């Protein structure tokens, strides 16, 4: 089972463009009460594995071109959501985005601190399904390595951090209100891993997506409030110091009974054959 998908993983930009043909229904943002939603600012130096995915050509320069989150899992490998690389998000096929970069060490997107590193290769999960949102991840290879201290470990299957009730934190520069006010500085919100049954019940299958416990992880608060939102996609959900999820989808943001749905990182580990 070592790297069973190595071949299909090397489709690179062409694969990404093909996957982009599957449109992701982006759930409409909902009103919610505060900052991520219900979070607070955090220092990038304390969470260096959180990085921004950027294209100034596509998204403009005011927030360094940030449009999704990502996370450093190897010195030259960053994970993000597959849907972040879709034509629906980018407006054009990925193959036509010539300035895709990862920004590391920059908490405040209005500054030039940290480092901008070009993406050399993008591998979209060949099993990504834009209809259900299953398998929503992509691996990006950086043109130059980041320091080892930026790398966070991925939780494999059977890791206790996946247990319902585990306290976790989600990080991002996304919408802090549910109505399109994107953060300038990195925020984090405390959420808990919820039982799969909660998301199975909330998301039995609709235009938003369909919850699958094998490829997805359910997290949030039963009464809403704290959650990821638009612009946080692809960013990390961390518990017990390990990466357990990537922000993927949900119905609105911070709504009671509508938890956040994350890409289950143990499924990423499985697809990568134990390596990035």
Active centre residues (catalytic): 83, 136, 233
Among 9, 49, 128, 249, binds ligand 4AZ (CB under 6 A): 249
For position 229 contacting ligand 4AZ by CB under 6 A, the verdict is yes
For position 27 contacting ligand 4AZ by CB under 6 A, the verdict is yes
For position 35 contacting ligand 4AZ by CB under 6 A, the verdict is no
Question: Least separation, in Å, of the C-beta of 3 and ligand 4AZ?
Answer: 30
Among 253, 269, 271, 272, binds ligand 4AZ (CB under 6 A): 253
Question: Least separation, in Å, of the C-beta of 220 and ligand 4AZ?
Answer: 8
Question: Least separation, in Å, of the C-beta of 65 and ligand 4AZ?
Answer: 17
Q: Which residues contact 62 (CB under 8 A, 6 or more apart)?
A: 110
For residues 246 and 83, the answer to whether their CB atoms sit within 8 Å is no
Question: Least separation, in Å, of the C-beta of 158 and ligand 4AZ?
Answer: 26
Using the structure block, give the residue that is written with the tokens 């229904």: 25
Picking from 86, 91, 108, the residue whose alpha carbon sits closest to that of residue 182 is: 108
Using the structure block, give the residue that is written with the tokens 């304390």: 46
Among 19, 82, 216, 228, binds ligand 4AZ (CB under 6 A): 228
Q: Distance between CA atoms of 140 and 121, rounded to whole angstroms?
A: 6
Number of residues that bind ligand 4AZ (CB under 6 A): 13
β-bridge mates for residue 79, sequence order:
71, 139
For position 208 contacting ligand 4AZ by CB under 6 A, the verdict is no
Look up residue 194 and give its two tokens: 């919820």
Q: Distance between CA atoms of 20 and 85, rounded to whole angstroms?
A: 7
For residues 164 and 200, the answer to whether their CB atoms sit within 8 Å is no
For position 185 contacting ligand 4AZ by CB under 6 A, the verdict is no
Nearer to ligand 4AZ, 244 or 276 (CB): 244
Three-class SS state of 59: helix
Residues that bind ligand 4AZ (CB under 6 A): 26-27, 227-230, 232-233, 247, 249-250, 253, 260
């Amino acid at each position: 089972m070592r790297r069973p998908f190595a071949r299909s993983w090397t489709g690179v930009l062409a694969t990404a463009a093909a996957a982009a043909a599957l449109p992701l229904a982006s759930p409409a943002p909902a009103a919610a009460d505060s900052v991520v939603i219900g979070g607070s600012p955090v220092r990038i130096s304390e969470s260096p594995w959180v990085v921004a995915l950027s294209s100034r050509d596509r998204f403009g320069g005011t927030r360094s071109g940030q449009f999704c989150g990502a996370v450093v899992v190897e010195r030259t490998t960053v994970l993000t959501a597959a849907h972040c690389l879709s034509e629906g998000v980018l407006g054009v096929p990925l193959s036509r985005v010539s300035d895709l970069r990862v920004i590391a060490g920059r908490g405040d997107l209005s500054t030039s601190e940290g480092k901008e590193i070009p993406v050399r290769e993008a591998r979209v999960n060949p099993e990504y399904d834009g209809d259900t949102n299953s398998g929503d991840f992509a691996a990006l290879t950086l043109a130059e390595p980041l320091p080892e201290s930026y790398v966070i470990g991925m939780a494999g299957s059977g890791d206790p951090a996946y247990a319902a009730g585990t306290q976790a934190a989600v990080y991002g520069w996304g919408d802090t209100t549910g109505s399109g006010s994107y953060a300038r500085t990195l925020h984090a919100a405390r959420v808990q891993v919820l039982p799969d049954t909660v998301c199975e019940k909330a998301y039995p299958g609709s235009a938003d997506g369909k919850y699958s416990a094998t490829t997805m992880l359910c997290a949030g608060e039963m009464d809403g409030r704290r959650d990821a939102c638009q612009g946080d996609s692809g960013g990390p959900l961390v518990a017990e110091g390990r990466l357990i999820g990537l922000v993927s989808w949900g119905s609105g943001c911070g709504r009671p009974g509508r938890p956040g749905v994350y890409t289950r990182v143990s499924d990423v580990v499985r697809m990568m054959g134990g390596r990035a």
